Amino acid sequence: MSHAHGFASLSAAPHYAVIFSSQRNGLDSAGYDAAAARLFDLVQEQPGFLGAESARDAEGFGITVAYFTDEAAIAAWRDHAEHRAARQHGRGHWYAGFQLRIARVERAYGGRPADAAPAAAAKDDA
Amino acid sequence: MSHAHGFASLSAAPHYAVIFSSQRNGLDSAGYDAAAARLFDLVQEQPGFLGAESARDAEGFGITVAYFTDEAAIAAWRDHAEHRAARQHGRGHWYAGFQLRIARVERAYGGRPADAAPAAAAKDDA
């Protein structure tokens, strides 16, 4: 798989989430798509990477959430040379704006389909 | 505004994020859209609500992240009667699957446009 698709595995809490929201500027779709696919392949080799989910709407607003075991894994990915270069290029060429949030996942639940449904799914709590 | 659109304001950390990822089943789009708009109006009246971002792709996979000041605000929204009813209806009628994660936002940054760009945007750190 060359890009995030569908649900990330539900890892045990606590772990960490990198929440990246962005507005594409509509330029260089081929370059952007190639870089996104390359970075998704790279991050899967990153120690402590747990999974990622991504969605981008028809207006080019997107949210990608990448999950890691801990802050050290996030820092290592942040400092990955190819990731850093792509990030710096993207800020100047692909995005009209972006926001990045680092968060500690305290609880995680899933529901339907079976591959996303631990027992917790039956509960109506968050 | 009747639905989450674009960037949420960058609130000071720490605060909390409710990360809801879901796969629509493609059914009852009118009912789903009406409920989503209604819930977005309701959550904005919720004490402790800081903002939300949402994106859904052409395949019906979506991520919505709602930000709250604290866990008490999340619990109050979770227990909101209309929200609870919509959530229970949605699990049976609108989604092929979903995942919910509650996370404590430790750091937040933004970059371009100006309305999403505090000084931290100039840094290349996460």
User: What pLDDT was estimated at residue B3?
Assistant: 67
Residue carrying the six token digits 């949030």: A101
A84 phi and psi angles, rounded to 5 deg? -60, -45
Q: Does B10 touch chain A (CB under 8 A)?
A: yes
Instruction: Say if CB A29 and CB A95 are below 8 A apart.
Output: no
pLDDT in tens, A87-108: 999 988 999 999 999 999 999 9
Residue A52 within a domain: yes
Residue B7 within a domain: no
Residue A2 within a domain: no
Mutation for A interface: B88, B101, B104, B125, most A CBs within 10 A: B101
Q: Which domain holds residue A37?
A: 15-125
What is the pLDDT confidence band of residue A10, given thresholds at 50, 70 and 90? confident
Other beta carbons within 10 angstroms of residue A50's beta carbon come to 19
Residue A9 within a domain: no
User: What pLDDT was estimated at residue B11?
Assistant: 86
- Looking at B21-25, B28-32, B114-118, which range is the least confident one? B114-118
Q: Is the pLDDT of residue B2 over 90?
A: no
Number of domains within chain A: 1
Residue B75 within a domain: yes
Q: Is the pLDDT of residue B115 over 50?
A: no
Instruction: Say if CB A121 and CB A110 are below 8 A apart.
Output: yes
Q: Which residues of B touch A125 (CB under 8 A)?
A: 78
Which amino acid is it at A56? R
Mean local confidence (pLDDT), B94-117: 82
User: Residue A73 — left, alpha, or beta (φ > 0 → left; ψ -120 to 50 → alpha)?
Assistant: alpha
Residue A7 within a domain: no
Residue A89 within a domain: yes
* ipTM, interface predicted TM-score of the complex: 0.86
Tokens of B92: 């049976």
Residues 6 or more apart whose CB falls under 8 angstroms from that of A32 comprise A24, A90, A94
Q: What is the CATH number of the domain that holds B45?
A: 3.30.70.100
pTM of the model: 0.87
CB contact under 8 A, B107 and A104: no
